[in-house]
């Protein structure tokens, strides 16, 4: 049985079952299978750096090495930020109830890259929460499925029928670059006149 996501709304804990929505459920999917000239399915292989060795599925792995080339155990590693300060891991959102205390709006929601959307179902009474969401209210909270180093941003919102959904994403980071020279916009009539003057009259060469 999947774990329940418990959201606390005005002091009432509401357990939700989440179901991820993806394109395959909405539009279906197509699988492409590669076969050889005898009809046997092909398998993906990796060509080693020597240019002649083929590595099949399961033939590669990742490892952690120290600066001296010594093998490091993953459990011995500690995450740090760009300044070398330790990073405190975030817990899973399923480990404890999540408070719905922060409200936001559509403008804030649209400033995020949404990577996952989940349909929420529950047997609890959602009359109060559904009325708020149906009226356009959006709740915002940190969300992490398994726990990790950085939490995503979760948005609780509803469709016009009042059915709740959870949208998960990260803030959109746009880096603006300056221009060395701004473009010059010419009047169309002026530009057309200049082009006509620049045209070569072949009658002058006769």
Query: Domain boundaries in the chain?
Result: 1-23+79-198
Sign of the CA dihedral running 194, 198, 202, 204: positive
Chain mean pLDDT for the chain: 86
149-196 confidence digits (pLDDT tens): 889 999 999 999 899 999 999 999 887 776 666 666 665 555 555 555
pLDDT of residue 136: 93
| Longest CA pairwise span in the chain (Å) | 94
Query: Whole-angstrom Cα distance, residue 124 to residue 130?
Result: 11
Query: In Å, what is the CA distance from 53 to each residue of 47, 56, 59, 62, 113?
Result: 6, 10, 11, 18, 41
pLDDT band at 19 (very low <50, low <70, confident <90, very high): very high
23-70 confidence digits (pLDDT tens): 887 788 888 899 999 999 998 888 988 998 988 888 888 888 888 888
What dotted CATH number matches 1-23+79-198?
2.40.290
Query: In Å, what is the CA distance from 108 to each residue of 103, 118, 137, 139, 166?
Result: 10, 19, 12, 11, 15
pLDDT band at 206 (very low <50, low <70, confident <90, very high): very low
């Amino acid at each position: 049985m999947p774990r329940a996501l418990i959201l606390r709304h005005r002091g009432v804990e509401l357990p939700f079952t989440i179901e991820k929505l993806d394109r395959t459920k909405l539009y279906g999917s197509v699988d492409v299978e590669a076969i050889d000239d005898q009809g046997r399915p092909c398998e993906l292989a990796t060509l080693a750096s020597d240019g002649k060795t083929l590595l099949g599925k399961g033939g590669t792995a990742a490892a952690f090495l120290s600066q001296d080339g010594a093998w490091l155990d993953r459990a011995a590693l500690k995450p740090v930020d760009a300044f070398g300060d330790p990073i405190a891991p975030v817990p899973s959102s399923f480990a404890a109830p999540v408070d719905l205390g922060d409200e936001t709006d559509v403008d804030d929601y649209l400033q995020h890259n949404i990577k996952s959307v989940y349909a929420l179902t529950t047997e609890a009474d959602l009359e109060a929460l559904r009325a708020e969401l149906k009226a356009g209210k959006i709740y915002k909270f940190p969300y992490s499925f398994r726990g990790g180093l950085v939490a995503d941003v979760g948005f609780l919102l509803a469709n016009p029928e009042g059915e709740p959904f959870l949208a998960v994403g990260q803030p959109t980071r746009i880096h603006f670059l300056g221009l060395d020279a701004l473009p010059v916009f010419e009047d169309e009539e002026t530009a057309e006149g200049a082009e006509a003057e620049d045209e070569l009259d072949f009658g002058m060469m006769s």
